[in-house]
Structure 1
Amino acid sequence: MRETNREWVFAERPDGEPGMDSFALEERSVPEPNHGEVLVRVRYLSVDPYMRGRMRDTESYAEPWDVGESMSGAVVGEVIDSKSERYETGDIVTGEGAWADYVVLGADSVAPVDPTIADLPAYLGALGMPGRTAYFGLLEVGTPKPGETVAVSGAAGAVGSVVGQIAKLNGCRVVGFAGSDKKVNWLTDDLGFDAAINYKDTDDYRVALEDAAPDGVDVYFDNVGGPISDAVFTKLNLDARVAVCGQIAHYNDESVPTGPRKLPQLIATRAKVEGLLVGDFANRFEEASTQLATWVASGDLSHRETIVEGLDNAPDAFLGLFSGDNIGKQVVRVSE
């Protein structure tokens, strides 16, 4: 064990895109668990786009951080001290904890991890919150049917890559938007997407969609917003469903952008647009986790993680989400 515990705190609210000024690394004492708690040595921690919303001083679906509060998110780690009968020293668990070397977690708030199914980082991605978001967002909100066309923005990210694969397992044609040729090739060559569009090299998304989705779009899983979503709305079919999961194109905007008004297109198509929060399905998390693990174990669901080395680089890993550095899930390796 380290003699002290390094921990990132939220240092300053950003204006627009955050920078390193928003983070401060502090040295603290290693915490001690009380009855019903476990001390976990963090192996990997998750950085996610939704965390940008927690940096704002406004109420949202995720409670905002106070300045001086510990940065936090999903972690996977090893129990090194247990004050609970549920877990023993050496057990691997996942839960919500600080960006730190060590965290104390309630034994009733963590879940066991089975490293025989997948490596530990997968439990922050395809087998964690992003995988469950994809599972419920597509199947419960998007309700895809065999033969339909599913479009996914942010398709090479942690959520989008799982969405596309589940859609393929349900007999759909899948079109993804991603930000590089490397990502596009991963989607089509490795994950089985029928078509993928490099939005950074595309001048007209509507024209690109006409080639990639010649029969229109029945389900749109939106992780991005912005001009991509504007274009997809023009291709929605009758009774299409739109699942709004994220709007990363706007997370750093200081004012709400005004663009083409797309709502009239919903009248002709009778399309449904629904926002989704994975927490609304909390009572069914075990169902999703079991099915996702089955798909991973059988090889039907692939996953990929971009691993940033070292707790020191956790802020860089988070900021890299907004420049598209990651393929699949972005995680930080804190310890071996």
Structure 2
Amino acid sequence: MLVNHFLDSGTARSFSLTPSIGPEVHRLKLEELQGENFRRYPEPGKTTVYDDKQTLDIDNVPLNGSILVKTLLLSVDPYMRGKMRNCKIQYYSEPYILGEPIYGLGIGKVLRSEHAEYKPGDYVYGMINFEEYAIPKRIINKVTLRPGLSLPVYLSPLGMMGKTAYYGWREYSQAKKGEVAFVSGGAGPVGSFVIQLAKLDGMKVIASAGTDDKVKECKEVGADVAFNYKTIDTSEILRQEGPLNVYWDNVGGPTLDTALGATAHHARIIVCGMVSEYNNQDGTHLKNLWAIYGRSLHIHGFLAFDLAPKWDAAFWKEVPPLVASGKLRHREDITKGLENSGEAILEVQKGINFGKKIVLVAEE
């Protein structure tokens, strides 16, 4: 489980602000903002730049009541794209700061501590800078390792992707045995989790993916019908296998439009992401919006942290045993080395990763 603690951002300092003494440490920083619509790919070496010129005295850097963490694993997620924007552009999350390290969910090991809740050797989880060593300035969680579960699992089915799938599904699906669910992006870390939740609830599941290998993955995690949307007509599949009672949307765009047109009355549309639109300069014109009123649809967009107070306890009770027993499958796509994290970010934005993308920064 994860135990929440808050590290006062007024007293914890980023190591990049300390004097340049000691051994070199490396980081990934933002050097170019996305355009007005931030709808182009973050380019390694240009948008994100690997910086190997920083130094840190690990033994003596002031902690000011905080902790010094050695970064082990970093999670790469689609939401990071929206943070690479001009701060004047309104969005649901705060932007990264130009010239400063980017950050994301990660797991590290405490090396030094001036905080009563932590001791050297503790594993921690939370928003961590893409740096080899960090003094966290945000909420950080202590990780209690469970038997049979490896460390990367805490960034995969037990991390944000698992919680996103679980919270959203439990809150909005109103799943009933025998109903039909469609999951786009079914081979992604969230989509594959949703497929399995829907099957546990006794539903017939349709899933789409962008390669034949990913279609195979959808079937292996339980999808009754899986297809390559690049080679097979989505509307024809949904016409044959629908109508849809639940649509879990990871991609937006034409797939969302087609799904709207294939719904049953009182269907639930759960909007988790719109990855197809992040690089679409013109956006997609939706033609089937009439179905919202014509079929009395229920459309829900959500952010996982809004649902956490209601569903987190149930998540930790139900999901870890399913993962440990192998009843809930997961796949990690590991990139080794912080120097390759820019490429890892690009892979996720292009959708060419296969499983939950994680950067292995260091062994323990």
Same fold (TM over 0.5): yes
Partner amino acid, structure 2, of 1:140: E
- Name which of 176, 200, 214 aligns with 2:207: 176
**Deviation at residue 4 of structure 1 after TM alignment:** 2.4
- Name which of 90, 112, 132 aligns with 1:81: 112
Q: Tell me the equivalent position of 2:50.
A: 25
CA distance in 2: counterparts of 1:69 and 1:55, whole angstroms = 11
Partner amino acid, structure 2, of 1:29: T
Q: Tell me the equivalent position of 1:110.
A: 141
- Name which of 346, 349, 359 aligns with 1:319: 346
CA distance in 1: counterparts of 2:146 and 2:73, whole angstroms = 13
Report runs of 4+ in structure 1 exceeding 6 Å deviation.
none
- Contact 1:128–1:289 at 8 Å: present in 2 too? no
Q: Tell me the equivalent position of 2:158.
A: 127
CA distance in 2: counterparts of 1:43 and 1:299, whole angstroms = 25
- Name which of 256, 271, 284 aligns with 1:229: 256
- Name which of 81, 88, 92 aligns with 1:52: 81
**Deviation at residue 84 of structure 1 after TM alignment:** 2.3
Please give the residue correspondences for 1:204-223 in structure 2 after superposition, counting only pairs within 5 Å. 204-211=233-240, 213=241, 215-223=242-250
Partner amino acid, structure 2, of 1:198: N
- Contact 1:178–1:199 at 8 Å: present in 2 too? yes
Question: Any idea what the Cα deviations from partners look like across 1:74-122, whole Å, max 9, x if unmatched?
Answer: 0012111122232222222211111111112269622314153422112
Confirm whether residue 155 of structure 1 aligns to residue 186 of structure 2.
Answer: yes
Confirm whether residue 66 of structure 1 aligns to residue 97 of structure 2.
Answer: yes
CA distance in 1: counterparts of 2:108 and 2:26, whole angstroms = 15
**Deviation at residue 323 of structure 1 after TM alignment:** 2.5
Greater Rg over alpha carbons, structure: 2
- Greater Cα offset, 220-229 or 22-31: 22-31
Question: Any idea what the Cα deviations from partners look like across 1:277-304, whole Å, max 9, x if unmatched?
Answer: 0010232434323322121122221111
- Contact 1:117–1:293 at 8 Å: present in 2 too? no
- Name which of 289, 294, 303 aligns with 1:263: 289
TM-score of the aligned structures, taking structure 2 as reference length: 0.85
2:280 partner SS: coil
CA distance in 1: counterparts of 2:143 and 2:284, whole angstroms = 45
1:95 partner SS: strand
CA distance in 2: counterparts of 1:159 and 1:277, whole angstroms = 13
1:12 partner SS: coil
2:230 partner SS: helix
- Contact 1:33–1:82 at 8 Å: present in 2 too? no
CA distance in 1: counterparts of 2:116 and 2:192, whole angstroms = 37
Cα pair distance change 1:100/1:216, threshold 3 Å: same
1:279 partner SS: helix
**Deviation at residue 234 of structure 1 after TM alignment:** 1.3
TM-score of the aligned structures, taking structure 1 as reference length: 0.92
Confirm whether residue 283 of structure 1 aligns to residue 304 of structure 2.
Answer: no
CA distance in 2: counterparts of 1:92 and 1:295, whole angstroms = 22
Could you tell me which runs of 5 or more consecutive residues in structure 2 were left unpaired when the two chains were aligned: 1-21
CA distance in 2: counterparts of 1:10 and 1:290, whole angstroms = 38
- Contact 1:177–1:197 at 8 Å: present in 2 too? yes
Confirm whether residue 194 of structure 1 aligns to residue 224 of structure 2.
Answer: yes
**Deviation at residue 6 of structure 1 after TM alignment:** 0.9
- Greater Cα offset, 287-296 or 40-49: 287-296
**Deviation at residue 331 of structure 1 after TM alignment:** 0.8
- Contact 2:49–2:342 at 8 Å: present in 1 too? no
Question: Any idea what the Cα deviations from partners look like across 1:107-160, whole Å, max 9, x if unmatched?
Answer: 962231415342211211210111110001111022212211111111111111
CA distance in 1: counterparts of 2:138 and 2:30, whole angstroms = 26
CA distance in 2: counterparts of 1:185 and 1:206, whole angstroms = 20
CA distance in 2: counterparts of 1:240 and 1:77, whole angstroms = 42
- RMSD over aligned CA atoms reads 1.9
Q: Which has the higher helix share?
A: 1
- Contact 2:29–2:101 at 8 Å: present in 1 too? yes
- Contact 1:72–1:98 at 8 Å: present in 2 too? yes
CA distance in 2: counterparts of 1:258 and 1:225, whole angstroms = 9
CA distance in 2: counterparts of 1:205 and 1:43, whole angstroms = 40
Could you tell me which runs of 5 or more consecutive residues in structure 1 were left unpaired when the two chains were aligned: none
